[in-house]
Amino acid sequence: MASRRGEGFGGKIEVMSALLTVPEAAKYLGVGRKKIYELLEWGEIKGVKLGRSVRVEKESLDRFRESGKLT
C-alpha cells in the first residue's frame, strides 16, 4: 500500500514520459509511419515494444525535432 508521502510500490515513484503510437508519432512529426520505424531502427528516436505494438517516447520526438535533423 502506498504511503501518504506518495512513495508508491517499492518505495519509489517512476515518472513515465508520454508514449505515442506510431501513427500519432508520424502525425506529430509530419512524416509517414515508415519514417518513424526507420528512425527507431537507426536509434534517432526512442520507443518501447508493448506486446505486438510499438510506442514512441514523445520526449525523444521533441529532441529529434529540436536537433534540426528533420527536413
The predicted-structure confidence for 21-71, as pLDDT tens digits, reads as follows 999 999 999 999 999 999 999 999 999 998 999 999 999 999 999 998 876
Q: For residue 60, give the 3-state DSSP assignment.
A: helix
Higher pLDDT, residue 5 or 51: 51
Structural domain contains residue 49: yes
What is the DSSP code string of 29-57?
A: HTS-HHHHHHHHHHTSS-EEEETTEEEEE
**Structure confidence at residue 14 (pLDDT):** 52
The span from the CA of 44 to the CA of 61, in Å, is 9
CB burial string 46-56: b at 16+ within 10 A, e below:
bbeeeeeebbb
Q: Is residue 53 part of a domain?
A: yes
Number of domains in the chain: 1
In a domain, 10, yes or no: no
* Residue 54 belongs to some domain of the structure: yes
44 within domain boundaries: yes
Q: Which domain holds residue 56?
A: 16-67
| pLDDT score at 19 | 92
Distance of CA 58 to the CA centre of its chain: 4
Q: Which CATH number fits the domain that encloses residue 26?
A: 3.90.105
Residue keyed to cell 521533441: 62
What's this model's pTM, rounded to 2 decimal places? 0.73
Whether residue 3 lies inside any domain: the answer is no
